[in-house]
Chain A
Amino acid sequence: DTAVSQTPKYLVTQMGNDKSIKCEQNLGHDTMYWYKQDSKKFLKIMFSYNNKELIINETVPNRFSPKSPDKAHLNLHINSLELGDSAVYFCASSQDPRPGEQYFGPGTRLTVT
């Protein structure tokens, strides 16, 4: 069974469109995250949710909006896509808010043309 899954794996879209990436974890974890990996492979935290509540919101454009319908899901919606949004987006989860190991999904490669 896949612990952290993301859909879609690849997403190609045009500038100005709105798109969503879905993430689900079946580990029973309380905390979920979104990370962005740029073309130089640098990874940076975007958001973190604990029990459906936002606890980390880094300096991300407000075109990005996370949504957590329940603690097993954390979706990422992106409005008005720009070329610079092209990246690989990783979802992750962990057991609780204290520092610990995180389990990552396989990533979603977003290409904006």
Chain B
Amino acid sequence: AQSVTQLDSHVSVSEGTPVLLRCNYSSSYSPSLFWYVQHPNKGLQLLLKYTSAATLVKGINGFEAEFKKSETSFHLTKPSAHMSDAAEYFCVVSDQWTALIFGKGTTLSLSS
């Protein structure tokens, strides 16, 4: 069975500093992995996806994630955080029937 574990429920950073949101996955086959973002009272938006192509994936708004099979990780990073990045972030794996299996989310808070 597929699953994801987001290692931090809450991350706080200052504006302009790097962001690291950690995610480990478990999958019985080569997974498709995603990061989604949910701004307050909004729907979910895809940030980036990994589907067995390049292991370093670039997404929208300056976010990146690196797929590391040896570590079963898919951490999300951004070099410099912006106030508008404050949101809930979900690490997601896709199962064989295409349903998305969500992690429990990481709340990213920003301070100026």
- B41-49, B63-71, B75-83: which lies at the A interface? B41-49
The answer to whether A40 and B100 touch across the interface, beta carbons within 8 angstroms, is no
Is the C-beta of B99 less than 8 angstroms from some C-beta in chain A?
A: yes
How far, in whole Å, are A48 and B96 apart by their CA atoms in the complex? 13
Q: How many residues of B contact A (CB 8 A)?
A: 24
> For chain B residues 43-57, which have a beta carbon within 8 Å of chain A?
43-46, 49, 51
Q: Is the CB of A99 within 8 A of B102?
A: no
Between B42, B43, B95, B101, the greatest number of chain A beta carbons within 10 A of the residue's beta carbon is seen for B43
Return the contact of A97 from the options B43, B44, B97 (Cβ within 8 A): B97
When each residue 19-37 of chain B gets 1 if its CB lies under 8 Å from chain A and 0 otherwise, what string results?
A: 0000000000000101010
Choose one: B43, B88, B100, B105; the contact of A105 (CB below 8 Å). B43
* Contact residues of A between 56 and 100, Cβ < 8 Å to B: 56, 58, 90, 92, 94, 97-100
Type the 1/0 row for A35-56, where 1 means its CB is closer than 8 Å to any CB of B.
Answer: 1000011111100100000011
Assess the A45–B32 pair: CB atoms within 8 A.
no
Assess whether A98 is in contact with B98, with CB atoms less than 8 Å apart. Answer: yes
A102 within 8 A of B: yes
B90 within 8 A of A: yes
Residues of A within 8 A of B38 (CB): 41
